[in-house]
Amino acid sequence: MAAYLGILPTHPEQVGATTLVDSIEQTPMKTLSQLQRRLLSGSATVMLTRIAAIVVNMALHALLARTLDPSSYGQLIVALNTVIFVSILCIFGLDQSSVRFLAGKYGSSNESDRSQLIKRMAVIWALATTATTILLLTLSRLGLSDWLNLSPQVVPFIIILGALLSMEQNLSAVLRGFHKMLDSSLLNGRTGGVLSKFLWLMVSLVLVIAGQEVSTSTALFYFCGCLLVSSIAGLALVSKVRKEGVRISKNKEVATSEVSTPSDDTKPSSTQMEILGYKTIAASSGSILVSSILIFLTLRMDVWIAGAALPPDDTAIYASVTWLILQTIAPLQILAIAISPSTAQLYSESRLSDLEHMLRTTATVYSTITITFLIFLCLLAGPVLSTIYGDFYAAGAPLLVALAIGQLFNCLTGNSGQALVMAGKEKVNMTVNAISAIVQLALGWYAANNFGALGLAISTSFTISLRSIVIWYLAKLLVGVWTHPTLSPVQAFKNLK
């Protein structure tokens, strides 16, 4: 993927945080075309992982939609939407700041510095998770579950799932910061990685085959177990990467001592960095947290509005359509994962022309794939919904077309938000998302209550389109790069060959 730039080692087993400085010091800087070839080589594997995740996710939701009645399935989607929000609060922006620091500022630091940084981030995550749990319990007593039409039995599962999902996502981010993109992709996903989703699918199949009754609470309970297993696997992967880093660091120290002479000034094998304090980490991650919350409200608040303002059956149809649309933008999510370490690195090296070329070329490739999916869905909206969910959900075809328009603008503006964050412009990104969230809440609530599900879909599409255009322009103004796709998709694909 994008992390596998030409300045990194050519063999996957050599790709670790401790080898980055070696590569920079010992390997001549590669040309941009070579960097792009590395990008394609690494991204192909992760793309296959994400495709597998989409297939598993679609099979899982197709099974659940047919197992649960529409009202229960709609409640499940609203609950999962709430789980995502809870996980964002628990993550506290540490997922993006981990990549930014580990792949950027601390990319050439020693293993001890990185270990200390990770430990401090873990402490902040634990405090954020505790505070979020207290907040959710308080809101539940104040009637939050009633407003979202969720049964009280679901609330404890939402809290547990949010904490586990945040752990999984932070572990995925640490692996991404160490350029272990394949390992990271196994855990990455807003509602869980491919590993946890596959386990959930298998458990659900066993329950259906055994003739067990499946309810919203039952489904969420088993998802808790699956996320726990995947989080333990993530801890094992991070531990393995850390051990590799320690081993490589020791080998470098031995090699340095062997070649040094008495007259040499002994230099450390890697750069000593001043470790960021808790306050600094919290401030940086806090800005990202606010932006993440606001992005969530802009992109996913419509599901909450549907749950609160629409009849249960309409909520089920709207939620299912929204979930399907989110699957089509998976290539854009892959792009965000792919380019985040390299964006931070290229920007820190002031290689803006290379950064813009990488952003636009990759945006062209991934946007072409996404737009193709969107066109397919719009042309066959009814049959697709009927095939996946059942005939009842085919009525959501107009909603699907309306929501697809917003994602079209999201494609055509590239990954501008990620460029702002990785360049340290979190507050700007946060401000735009705050305005977008306010617009979405006002327009969405009015549209849902006066024009039903279709009105809500149109208002959501409008807000997403407006936000995408504004952030795209600000990326050029403040970072100095355009992020939109090129006008020649064929040439973009050739550049990656």
Q: Are 304 and 322 in contact (CB under 8 A)?
A: no
Q: Closest by alpha carbon to 395, among 297, 328, 300, 310?
A: 310
Tokens of 313: 């059956």
Average pLDDT along the chain: 77
Tell me how far the alpha carbon of residue 354 is from its chain's centroid.
24
Of 98-102, 398-402, 490-494, the poorest mean pLDDT is in 490-494
Q: Are 330 and 185 in contact (CB under 8 A)?
A: no
Of 68-77, 118-127, 197-206, 476-485, the poorest mean pLDDT is in 476-485
Confidence of residue 406 (pLDDT cuts 50, 70, 90): confident
Q: Are 333 and 295 in contact (CB under 8 A)?
A: no
pLDDT in the model for residue 225: 93
Distance of alpha carbon 68 from alpha carbon 74, whole angstroms: 9
Q: Quick: pLDDT tens for 39-63.
A: 554 555 566 777 777 788 888 888 9
Q: Are 320 and 400 in contact (CB under 8 A)?
A: no
Cβ atoms within 10 Å, residue 34: 13
DSSP for 89-143?
A: HHHTTHHHHHHHIIIIITTTB-HHHHHHHHHHHHHHHHHHHHHHHHHHHHHHHTT
**pTM for this one?**
0.72
Distance of alpha carbon 372 from alpha carbon 362, whole angstroms: 16
pLDDT in the model for residue 226: 92
In 3-state terms the chain splits into helix, strand, coil percentages (rounded to 5) of 80, 0, 20
Greater confidence (447 vs 12) lies with 447
Residue with tokens 């197709």: 62
Does the pLDDT of residue 353 top 50, yes or no? yes
Q: How far is CA 209 from CA 198, 204, 205, 212, 214, in A?
A: 17, 9, 6, 8, 11
Does the pLDDT of residue 336 top 70, yes or no? no
Tokens of 405: 């328009």
Taking the C-alpha atoms of 174, 180, 181 and 183 in order, what is their torsion angle to the nearest 10 degrees? -80
Of 178-182, 223-227, 357-361, the poorest mean pLDDT is in 178-182
Does the pLDDT of residue 489 top 60, yes or no? no
Q: Which amino acid is at 246?
A: V
Confidence of residue 369 (pLDDT cuts 50, 70, 90): confident
Within 13 Å, how many C-alpha atoms sit on residue 496's CB side? 23
Instruction: Give the range with max mean pLDDT: 4-8, 80-84, 246-250.
Output: 80-84
Q: Are 90 and 128 in contact (CB under 8 A)?
A: yes
Q: Quick: pLDDT tens for 307-323.
A: 888 888 898 899 889 88
Q: Are 230 and 214 in contact (CB under 8 A)?
A: no
pLDDT in the model for residue 330: 67
Q: Give φ, ψ of 271 to 5 degrees.
A: -65, 135
| 76-82 mean pLDDT | 88
Q: Is 271 helix (H, G, I), strand (E, B) or coil?
A: strand
Q: Are 125 and 166 in contact (CB under 8 A)?
A: yes
Q: Are 475 and 482 in contact (CB under 8 A)?
A: yes
Tell me 11's DSSP state: S
Distance of alpha carbon 433 from alpha carbon 413, whole angstroms: 15
pLDDT in the model for residue 475: 85
Q: Which amino acid is at 333?
A: Q
| 70-86 mean pLDDT | 88
Q: Quick: pLDDT tens for 291-301.
A: 788 878 877 88
Q: Quick: pLDDT tens for 415-473.
A: 787 778 777 777 787 788 888 888 888 999 999 999 999 999 999 999 989 988 998 98
Q: Residues with Cβ < 8 Å from 339, sequence gap 6 or more?
A: 2, 358, 359, 362, 415, 418
Percent of the chain with pLDDT over 90: 15
Q: How far is CA 127 from CA 100, 317, 460, in A?
A: 21, 37, 33
Q: Quick: pLDDT tens for 125-182.
A: 999 999 999 988 888 888 777 777 777 788 889 999 999 999 998 888 888 777 777 7
Distance of alpha carbon 20 from alpha carbon 209, whole angstroms: 50
